[in-house]
Amino acid sequence: MERYIQKCQERHKQKVSHVFFMTVINSYLTLVSNLTRQSISQLRDMKCSIDNKCPRAATHLKTKAKKNALMEDRFAQIRTENRLLLEKMSHIMRTKGGIDCRNESVKYSHSLSKERRKRELARITKENQQILRRIQNAQPAYSHMKWEEEAMKSDKILENISEFKMRPGRKHRESPLDDDSIFGYMDYSIPE
């Protein structure tokens, strides 16, 4: 501090123009005023130790690179399709012109094996009809009437050998398929 005061006094004596001194009565006040100016300039030039600036803008969110790439791909695909469509249209205009309503595929449609395939299809159809006729004319090997008679006999035997009697109101089944019991058997009641 003393050193600074000495320098200021020397400059004042030399009357250096680039140093600004206030004319005051007291030299101590001159020194304080110079220190105040110096501290103000230092405060102005000082950098803060805490970063209080707003955060950097995320450029990847502003540019939207993926969306732009997808749009560019889509535009490239549209350009390609448009070019192909234009080529097709120009080919039609150069060659045929007008409306294309002729079917030229008929003159190339005769196949070498067409007749053979027709004969094969007719043969298969004929065989299928013969098989169907045989199935419809065949007599069944099982008699459903005989099955029902055997079921009634079995029910009678079951009733005779059972320990518990049938529920009242239940009769012999007419057909095994007509029974409304859960398991396909007669329902018997257990005595209480």
Query: Minimal CA–CA distance to 102: which of 92, 117, 114, 94?
Result: 92
Reported as a single tens digit per residue, the pLDDT across 3-43 is 777 777 776 666 544 445 445 567 777 777 777 888 788 77
Task: Write down the domain spans for the chain.
Answer: 2-44
Mean pLDDT throughout 135-141?
87
The residues with which 166 forms a beta bridge, in sequence order, are 188
Reported as a single tens digit per residue, the pLDDT across 71-96 is 999 999 999 999 999 998 888 888 87
The residue ranking higher by pLDDT, 107 or 86, is 86
Secondary structure, 3-state, the chain: CHHHHHHHHHHHHHCCCCCCCCCCCCHHHHHHHHHHHHHHHHHHHCCCCCCCCCCCCCHHHHHCHHHHHHHHHHHHHHHHHHHHHHHHHHHHHHHCCCCCCCCHHHHHCCCCCHHHHHHHHHHHHHHHHHHHHHHHHCCCCCCHHHHHHHHHHHHHHHHHHCCCCECCCCCCCCCCCCCCCCCCCCCECCCC
Calculate the dihedral angle through the C-alpha atoms of 177, 178, 181, 187, rounding to the nearest 10 degrees.
-110
